[in-house]
Amino acid sequence: MLTDNNKLFHRKKILTAFLLCTGILVLLFGRLVYLSVWEAEHYSQMATSLHERERSIKAARGRILDRNGVVLADNKTVCTVSVIHNQIEDPERVTEVLCQELGLSEEYVKNRVEKYSSMERIKSNVDKETGDRIREYDLAGVKVDEDYKRYYPYDQLASKVLGFTGGDNQGIIGLEVKYEEYLQGEPGYILTVTDAKGIEVEAAGERRVEPVPGSDLCISLDMNIQSYATQLAAQAMATKEADSVSILVMDPRNGEILAMVNVPEFDLNNPYELPEGTPENISSEEKQNLLNGIWRNGCINDTYEPGSTFKIITAAAGLEAGAVTPESTFSCPGFIVVDDRKIRCHKIAGHGSQDFVHATMNSCNPVFITVGLRLGVEQYYKYFEEFGLKTKTGIDLPGEAGTIMHKMEDMGNVELATVSFGQSFQITPIQLLTTAASIINGGVRVTPHFGVKTVDAEGNVLEVMEYPAVEGIVSQETSATMRQILEMVVSEGSGKNGKVEGFQIGGKTATSQTLPRGSGRYIASFVGFAPADDPQVIALAIVNNPQGVYYGGQVAAPIVRQLFENILPYLGIMRYNQ
Amino acid sequence: MAAQRTSRKRRKKEQTEYFFDYSMLFIVLFLLGFGLVMIYSASSYEAFQEYKDAAYYLKKQLTAIVIGLVMMIVTANIPYHFWERFALLGYIVSALLIPVVLTPLGVESHGARRWIRIPGIGLNVQPAEVAKLCMILFLATLVCKMGKSVRTMKGFILMVIIPFPIAGEIYLITQNLSSAIIILGIAVLMVFVASPDYKKFVIMGVGVLALAALAVFLVVSGDGEGGFRSGRILAWLNPESDPQNKGFQTLQALYAIGSGGIWGKGLGQSMQKLSFLPESQNDMIFSIICEELGIFGAIAVILMFIMLLWRMMVIANNAGDLFGAMLVVGVMGHIAIQAILNIAVVTNTIPNTGISLPFISYGGSSVMFLLIEIGLVLSVARRIQLKELA
């Protein structure tokens, strides 16, 4: 038994111990309140991010529309079929159905069905109808996910302009790359709650952050003009057995490109397909080079010697500087001697006495050499730069090639003479067309372009693209004179194959020999515009290495003529006699 | 009438002459029941994943509780002086039992070898649990035997030294620091009650705190070298610095408490129990309580423990003799220390060490021994004569 005295101090001690323990428990409770009230947000956010698994939802890529709203690049819903090993109940039935519906070999499907993995992809880019059918079987462990795939309704149309997209829906070439930031949109997410092993907790449901679709891009291209131009180019390529044919159609007033054709085009829905007859065992590097060649847009990625079409520039520079007037008379003996070099005219007998207008109509080399020499290297070079020929046009397509030109210090009279009629330097077709357009449109250097505006799914305009324009590169008078002279070229001169009944057409032909000289390879080209007194459309046709007759006036001019015969009424350009 | 009234009075007096602490029994039963609910909630997901039986842990715990309750009733009905004669034997047995974990009888779990399989029953027993019970018994007996000499310095030192061999064994052989600390804690508390002095204990407390602070300081300035335990201390100071390893469990517990907030997510709604929080039905069950039931669930549990301790204090204060009082103080110390340390670990107040929450955590041998201890306390309570109840 405890004595009273003992009991007293024991009781006090026991009470002390109890109070001490209680005190500590109360302190711990305080700590708990701190954690679950003050720190709650911090920890619960961290916990939520731990519990949720993110699956991204692709955003629908913006479409590409032509100037009339025709859809050139669209999205198609496709399905990806996968199997989840753990959830499969009847592997034989699954294998059978998938083989049958997807047209795959039994061995291939069986391997994947039996493979122990969290999720095995059987086939992607499956048609929506097939995907829906598979879904209707309601097989445990088979998952059909919907996805977007880029789809080009017109297959080959403007393939090198539009470009295509890769596996993640990102642009690879063409406008698809250039306008990536507008087209791509923002991906959304499905946040699923999972346990620590990654198994979804069904009761917890899911949280969705909806994707933001990309903006639609409206471009200046006209589907009808583009497809007609493509037909013409393909026809010309076939009949002339040419390597390639390019056709450019532009509005010279603002630089909007209506058509850009480079045949052979390729199938945008199948861009990695190699041409028939390609050996199968080529290395991946060779394959890539081959594909890059197929995807190449000759109008902007390649340069060529423009030849006689460049006389437009020499003429404009000469007129602008006062070195020549339309009435200036020249005499062509069939050749001209520059320094120690004798340069022939294409007409060996010579054009005899002629004024500048007729010299242009005849495309007489000695006359243009004379004009170039009258200007002199420095002045000629100054105009070359002022016309914007040294800088890129700034077209909204990737990979524009620059001009290959002599340095001014290295230019002698011989070089100047050759440049004057379009040889010994190289520019891109788009550069030639843009410069010609700028000379005949009243002297405004325009920026060639496709992109006009972006719109949202409801058609509301989001952004209107603006492009620089430099005014006064030639005077209005020079521009008007050039239009008259070039109209004469078509109506009565070397470009008469470009004539269109009922329309005033201006233009210039060219036949340039490709390097090395004497290879027998030529480039026939023709640049034409209409109406000649108020140009609303300018076109350039380039036939690369035509067989047989290779003169621009006979090969390229008829292409532009046929084009104009069809598109001028379509564009609402009136015949002069109406 | 008058005769009837007196006889009724007499009967009443006879009935209530001896005391049975129903309040304490109720608290214990409440904690056990609440523990079962929480064990089911915390473990069912993983139990189903692992054993295809959501109630796997619940069933095992329920079996242990039933056995424990039977043992409690038996113990409560045996006069506690009966155990006095086994005090020394108990001390020796527990000292001998601990090395048995190293023999083939030992069972390894969670990377630690702390259990002994009792052949035949298939029940795992932690020698540390046996040692805690035996230590309480031995020290209580010793205090009575020593009488007034407890108050001398020699007596004090003897009392303090006695638990060390057992605690040392537990720490060195079973790598179980927390049980060693609990045994030392129980001993210190019992000595504190037995001795009228305060000064020694204040000095001891200050000394322990200073040593702990020194250890933390050394670890922090020592660039984390020194392995297992020092890593735990660094993870304690900043659990987010090493979220994948040392700080993992602590951080997961904090996530649970933080996402529970004031009101909790609701019973059964814990996310952290979905394999994120290791030992969620065991050492970390308190954080699941916080996550599901919020601060209010937590305060209910803490209040229950305070009430349990209060009942024990009342019983100890009114025990028929010093031996009974010391037994109750030992049990009280055991439960108090374990509850405090567990909650402190879960809230990252002290470095992480594996301690279960008495009556609530999953663990068969722990709950059985705790119920035996409760049986002892009830036995002491039954000896209290109501006239002595103050």
Judge if A335 and A462 occupy the same domain. yes
Q: Which residue of A has its CA nearest to B268?
A: A203
Q: Give the C-alpha separation, A269 to A76, whole Å.
A: 11
Q: Give residue B1's pLDDT band: very low, low, confident or very high (50, 70, 90).
A: very low
In this predicted structure, what is the pLDDT of residue A223?
Answer: 94
pLDDT band for position B254 (cuts 50, 70, 90): confident
End position of a domain, from candidates B197, B229, B263 = B197
Is A256 among the domain residues? no
Whether residues B243 and B369 share a domain: the answer is: yes
Rounded to an integer, what distance in angstroms lies between the CA atom of residue B324 and that of residue B330?
A: 10
Report chain A residues whose CB lies below 8 A from the CB of B336: 17, 21
Shared domain check, B331 and B256: yes
Angstrom distance (rounded) from CA A364 to CA A488: 14
Q: What is the pLDDT of residue A2?
A: 47
Q: Return the number of other C-beta atoms located less than 10 Å from residue B1's C-beta.
A: 5
Distance from CA of A213 to the nearest CA of B (A): 34
Share of chain B above pLDDT 70, in %: 89
Domains: count for chain B = 2
A346 and A453 in a single domain? The answer is yes
Domain boundary among A219, A246, A272: A219
CA atoms within 13 A on the CB side of A10: 31
* Residues 6 or more apart whose Cβ sits within 8 Å of residue A227: A154, A157
In chain A, residues with a C-beta closer than 8 Å to the C-beta of B274 are 51, 194-196, 201
Q: Examine the domain organization and report whether B246 and B276 are in the same domain.
A: yes
Residue carrying structure tokens 């097939």: A130
Output the pLDDT for position B7.
Answer: 52
Q: How confident is the model at residue B386 (pLDDT cuts 50, 70, 90)?
A: low
Helix (H) / strand (E) element for B225: namely none
* pLDDT less than 70: residues of chain A: 1-7, 53-55, 116-118, 195-206, 576-578
Of the three residues A187, A219, A251, the one that is the final residue of a domain is: A219
How far is Cα B256 from Cα B112, in angstroms, rounded to an integer? 26
Classify residue B98: in a domain, yes or no: yes
Same domain flag for B190 and B321: no
Say yes or no for a CB contact (<8 Å) between A28 and B343: yes
- Domain check: are B361 and B251 in the same one? yes
Question: End of a domain among A157, A186, A219?
Answer: A219
Bridge partners for A529 per DSSP:
A506, A538
Distance in Å, alpha carbon of B10 to nearest chain A alpha carbon: 27
Mean pLDDT (chain B, rounded): 84
B201-241 pLDDT, tens per residue?
888 889 988 988 888 888 777 654 555 566 777 777 777 77
Scanning the structure block, which residue is given the tokens 């529309």?
Answer: A65
Residue B18 has pLDDT above 80, yes or no: no
Domain count, chain A: 2
Give tens-digit pLDDT for B107-139.
Answer: 777 667 778 887 766 677 888 889 999 999 999
Which of B276, B294, B321 shows the shortest C-beta gap to A36?
B294
Examine residue B339 and state whether it is found in any structural domain, yes or no: yes
A559 in a structural domain: yes
Shortest CA distance from B306: residue in chain A: A22
Would B153 be classed as within a structural domain?
A: yes
Nearest CA among B388, B374, B386, B355 for reference residue B30:
B374
pLDDT digits (tens, 9 = 90+) for B300-338: 999 999 999 999 999 998 888 889 999 999 999 999 999
- Domain holding B374, by residue range, is 21-77+238-390
DSSP string, A231-256: HHHHHHHHHTT-SEEEEEEE-TTT-B
Same domain, B285 and B390: yes
* A243 in any annotated domain: no
Catalytic residue numbers of A, as ranges: 308
b/e code B39-76 from CB counts within 10 Å (16+ = b): bbbbbbbbbeeeeeeebbbbebbbebbebbbebbeebb
Which residue among B169, B197, B225 closes a domain?
B197
Angle between helices B22-51 and B364-382 (to 10 degrees): 170
Q: What are phi and psi of A149, to 5 degrees?
A: -130, 140
ipTM: 0.88
Residue A203 sits in a domain whose CATH number is: 3.90.1310.10
Contacts of A47 in chain B (CB under 8 A): 255-256, 258-259, 271-272
CB contact under 8 A, A197 and B275: yes
For residue A62, give its domain range. Answer: 55-105+112-219
Check whether B281 has a pLDDT greater than 90.
no
Reduced to 3 states (helix: H, G, I; strand: E, B; else coil), residue B176 is coil
